[in-house]
Amino acid sequence: MDQSLYSQFFCLSLYSKDYPIKPSTLYHILTGKRTASILFKAHTYQLTKFFSIFPNLKREQYNQMIQKFIARGWIKANGVSEEFYLSEQGKAEVEVYFSEHFYPQRLNQLLNGKATKEFWKKIVFLTQVLSELRYQNKRYLPLDKEWKNQLWVKNWLKNRPLDKQELALSFGKEWIQVLANLDSFSAEIVVSQLTGHEKFGKTITQLASMYKIEALEIAFLLQNVTIQLMDQIVRKKEIYPLFYLIYQECIGDPYSSLSQSTKLTAYYLDKGLSIENIALKRNLKANTISEHVIELAIIFSDFDVSNVIPDTDYQRLITVFQSNEKITYEELEKEMPHVPFSWYRLIQVERSRADE
């Protein structure tokens, strides 16, 4: 991510007038440092939807941007701490800028950012292959050079019962239907990205130049349109059977957003194993498994915290939190010395869902 005007105002928009944010923590959220503490902060700051949105952001570049915000009075220090609030001036600057620019409201990077990217990549590649197939052209450069993705296309085509020409026609008709339900600008951007027979899709940089807006704004627009497409396909899957098959492959696994290690922990939890038994089975520390559990509770709003805390302790914890919602772990230890920090954090996550 370069230090473009759009990226600066986007980062400024992540600060709040209602609660202070620590710039170093925000940096770890934006770059996707996947620890239980950072994930919890992303949850607290209501920024899980932007988790890992700038994985290549350089720390020095980010710090320079924050210093600019401070110098201009756009963010104000919370007393002597390292946390900052968005100032009235900063809020006004954000509102003016985004009154004329797109703001990515619908993203959910933590839950399905990877799956959304995969869906778009597959559907664009398959569009090229089916377009060339429609014209019986076998001499073209595939968009995707990775063998595993080329193999996916071959297997996907092989497993469809339709004749290849019929398949290409049906896929094209689904594109026409799905585009008809987008606004004209979104549809234009999508079509501009597609590659097919004697047509080459434009890059994000080329689109940014064409529309005279920054590349990051175009990238966010495309992500937003992809989410719109996916929502539409799910709502009317009977109209988009081919697109829906691809959607299912990308989104079908509820744990697709997780690391392999956390995914395995989720699998064992589903089997009814306790945190201690999972740790023994996997030859890992119980604290590591507990961090996985906190991650699951943050990502999945229907995760049942009471399943991983003994019932008596769970009920007592609920009672304690009801009497003191802002209780610290140090204060809790005085009342319940045996309670691990992970239980404290899980109850915090569970109780914060009511405010969402």
- Model pLDDT, residue 190: 95
Q: Quick one: pLDDT at residue 230?
A: 94
Looking at residue 15, what is its pLDDT?
97
pTM of the model: 0.88
> Residue 119 in contact with residue 252, Cβ under 8 Å?
no
Q: Give the chain's length.
A: 356
3-state secondary structure of 102: coil
User: What residue spans in the chain does CATH classification 1.10.10 cover?
Assistant: 5-98
CA dist., res. 26 & res. 11, Å (int)? 9
Could you please state the CATH topology (level 3) that the domain comprising 5-98 is classified under: Arc Repressor Mutant, subunit A (1.10.10)
Q: pLDDT of 289-303, one tens digit each? A: 999 999 999 999 899
Tens digits of residue pLDDT in 53-110: 999 999 999 999 999 999 999 999 987 678 999 999 999 999 999 999 999 988 889 8
Average pLDDT over residues 301-325: 94
- pLDDT value of position 354: 66
Average pLDDT over residues 22-48: 94
Give the span between the Cα atoms of 271 and 340, in whole angstroms: 23
pLDDT digits (tens, 9 = 90+) for 218-268: 999 999 999 999 999 999 999 999 999 999 998 877 788 888 999 999 999
Question: What percent of the chain clears pLDDT 90, i.e. is strictly above it?
Answer: 84
Query: Looking at beta carbons, which pairs linking 96-102 to residues 24 or more positions away fall under 8 Å?
Result: 97/5, 97/9, 98/9, 98/13, 101/6, 101/9, 101/213, 101/217, 102/217, 102/220, 102/221, 102/224
- Cα angle: 319, vertex 40, 30; to 5 degrees: 165
166, pLDDT greater than 70: yes
Rounded mean pLDDT, 273-297: 95
Residue ranges with strand state E in 57-178 = 75-77, 84-86
- Specify the pLDDT at position 257: 81
pLDDT value, residue 3: 64
What is the pLDDT, as a whole number, of residue 259?
86
| Single-letter residue type at 339 | V
Average pLDDT score over the chain: 93
